[in-house]
Amino acid sequence: MPLARSTAPRPSARRDGVLAFTALAGALAVLVLLTDAGLPALVASGVLGLAVLGAVVRSTVRRSGEPYGPADRITVGRSVLVALAAALLPVGLAAGPGQEAGRPVDAWCWAVFAVALPAWLLDGIDGWVARRTGTATRAGARFDQEVDAALLLILSVAVAARIGLPEACWVVTIGALRYLFLLGLRVRPPWRRELPYSRYRRVVAGIQGGVLIGALVPPIPLPLAVAATVLALVLLLVSFGRDVLWLERGARGLS
């Protein structure tokens, strides 16, 4: 039986955008008070956080054809956490007192962990809300995926920093693969086909965030964090490889 559509008033994308920027501004003010990072790092943090949130809010305000619903409101809330995680990157990457071998201090790892964990755990809640209220849209699903991708990229940079840059720059591949795939769509337009459902793809995608968040926890030994991250990357490469092979076979009329 189809789900009944909600008769409640739809949330306003513009209003939620203003609230999101207000929340982020407050969080950035707290960051300035709590950190001893220099002015360049703080400026970079503010710019990066506002840029991430600005891209999210712009995509909702400028949406046409499909409505902005309650599930999107949850995703916007998640995006505030993602933007704050992005704002923490320059603070951790900048050289400062207490750092060893160019790695960020444990307090920074805990801060990114504390922000990223709820953003990751809330993934799926927006989809559940959309189904329960009968307001699921393709635009909302894409919106959720883009926020997930941004979080994964930020986490991959943070984990690379904890393991040690520049040697651990390979970790960033986890977050960059989706964007490389999107670039591939421009090079190979025939790849613009809807991929078939894959349980493997969904499971592997879910693993990435959990592994990266776990790798940030300071008590977890670095060798264990590295091993788990390598395994997650291998699984992700296999997943993308399978999809690219299927798309390429279709483009050549082989499937």
| Contact yes or no for 233/170 (Cβ under 8 A) | yes
Q: Which of 94, 93, 153 is nearest to 119 (CA)?
A: 153
Measured distance between the N- and C-terminal CA atoms of the chain, rounded to whole angstroms: 35
Work out the average pLDDT over 191-195: 84
Over residues 38-78, the pLDDT tens digits come to: 889 899 999 999 999 998 888 887 777 778 888 888 889 99
Determine the pLDDT at residue 11: 62
pLDDT of residue 7: 37
Check residue 95 and give its pLDDT: 59
pLDDT of 1 reads 37
Which pLDDT band holds residue 101 (cuts at 50, 70, 90)? very low
pLDDT at 97 over 60: no
DSSP 48: H
Q: Is the pLDDT of residue 238 over 70?
A: yes
- The answer to whether residue 208 scores a pLDDT higher than 50 is yes
- What is the distance between the alpha carbons of residues 11 and 70, in angstroms, rounded to a whole number? 6
pLDDT confidence of residue 151: 95
pLDDT in tens, 1-30: 344 444 344 568 888 889 999 999 999 999
The tokens of 78 are what? 């998640």
pLDDT mean over 230-240:
96
Query: Residue 100: beta bridge partners?
Result: 103
CA distances from 89 to 13, 96, 107, 146, 153 (A): 28, 13, 13, 19, 11
Tell me what pLDDT residue 88 has: 95
Class of 13-249 in CATH: mainly alpha
pTM: 0.88
pLDDT of residue 179: 92
- The CA distance from 202 to 221, in Å, is 28
Burial 126-157 (b: 16+ CB within 10 A, else e): bbebbeebebbbebbeebbebbbbbbbbbbbb
d(CA 5, CA 58): 26
How confident is the model over 110-157, as pLDDT tens digits?
Answer: 999 999 999 998 887 877 887 888 777 787 778 888 899 999 999 999
